[in-house]
């Protein structure tokens, strides 16, 4: 893939077209931060945050819409209940290779954070130097499932469908693929906390104190990490720290990346 910061890019992974955007320096020049969106997100719904991350860190940033979201190809429904694991194991490794990823960080929000954790929970990739997890999910909780049920009502009877249709070429694919999976009775047993045991890179987790989709138990699960772990809990913040508290979130991310850069530089000097 050609690193193009002027226009959207198009990737093809196993015959599926995915939209992406590049910000800042290419993987050949600087480490790359790969951003993974939430369950109803896409490239456009990250808004200006990827550009701000690239500017604040000096690193390249690549963000893409998963199949079924944004302007990427639609996904067959229903999604399998292990769709996040499949994204982490079957798609993300090929995508990293396609963009020329050499070293860097995975930064995920909500479902995207779960996928980022699952990647290192299932695949040994020494190119990934750190994880940044915004409002991650490791298991289901009654309150979170209730909020997802409320989202279904808003989609079926409110204006959520029309609002999402501005960003997703196939809004049914985007919403139903996420909502139907989470509200499937079999999904109540979903638990990916095992992945935490296999992560061996520094982790930064950020969550809003008022997150309607998950309690702080999701962040507490990361206490089992064998690697350095930093957390930031933001008051007056819900499920989207990068949009609701962008300045504090960006400052924490920039500081985390700077520390990783210092560790990397020290390692090179020792070598």
CATH 3.40.50.1820 fits 9-270, yes or no: yes
Output the pLDDT for position 264.
82
Output the pLDDT for position 269.
55
Domain boundaries, the chain: 9-270
The tens digit of pLDDT for each residue in 178-199 reads 999 999 999 999 999 999 999 9
Q: At what angle do helices 246-270 and 49-57 cross, to 10 degrees?
A: 40
β-pair type (9-13, 16-23): antiparallel
Contact between 117 and 193 (Cβ < 8 Å): no
pLDDT higher than threshold 60 for residue 270: no
The tens digit of pLDDT for each residue in 199-229 reads 999 999 999 999 999 999 999 999 999 999 9
pLDDT band of residue 265 (cuts 50, 70, 90) is: confident
- What is the mean predicted confidence (pLDDT) over 249-257? 98
The tens digit of pLDDT for each residue in 68-100 reads 999 999 999 999 999 999 999 999 999 999 999
Q: At what angle do helices 171-182 and 142-157 cross, to 10 degrees?
A: 150
pLDDT band of residue 254 (cuts 50, 70, 90) is: very high
pTM of the model: 0.96
């Amino acid at each position: 893939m050609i690193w193009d910061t002027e226009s959207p890019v198009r990737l093809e992974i196993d015959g599926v077209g995915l939209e992406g955007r590049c910000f800042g320096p290419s993987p050949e020049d600087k480490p790359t931060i790969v951003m993974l969106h939430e369950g109803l997100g896409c490239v456009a719904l990250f808004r200006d945050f990827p550009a701000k991350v690239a500017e604040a860190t000096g690193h390249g940033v690549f963000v893409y819409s998963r199949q079924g979201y944004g302007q990427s190809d639609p996904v067959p429904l229903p999604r399998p209940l292990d769709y996040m694991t499949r994204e982490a194991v079957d798609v993300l490794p090929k995508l990293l290779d396609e963009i020329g990823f050499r070293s860097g960080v995975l930064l995920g929000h909500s479902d995207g954070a779960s996928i980022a954790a699952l990647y290192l929970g299932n695949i040994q990739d020494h190119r990934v130097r750190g994880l940044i997890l915004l409002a991650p999910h490791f298991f289901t909780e009654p309150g979170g499932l209730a909020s997802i049920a409320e989202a279904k009502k808003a989609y079926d009877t409110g204006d959520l469908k029309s609002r999402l249709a501005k960003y997703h070429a196939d809004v049914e694919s985007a919403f139903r693929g996420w909502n139907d999976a989470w509200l499937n009775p079999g999904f109540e047993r979903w638990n990916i906390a095992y992945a935490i045991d296999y992560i061996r890179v520094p982790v930064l987790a950020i969550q809003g104190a008022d997150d309607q989709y998950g309690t702080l138990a999701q962040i507490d699960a990361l206490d089992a990490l064998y690697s350095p772990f930093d957390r930031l809990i933001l008051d007056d913040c819900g499920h989207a720290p990068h949009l609701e508290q962008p300045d504090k979130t960006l400052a924490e991310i920039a500081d985390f990346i700077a520390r990783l850069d210092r560790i990397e530089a020290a390692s090179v000097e020792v070598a």
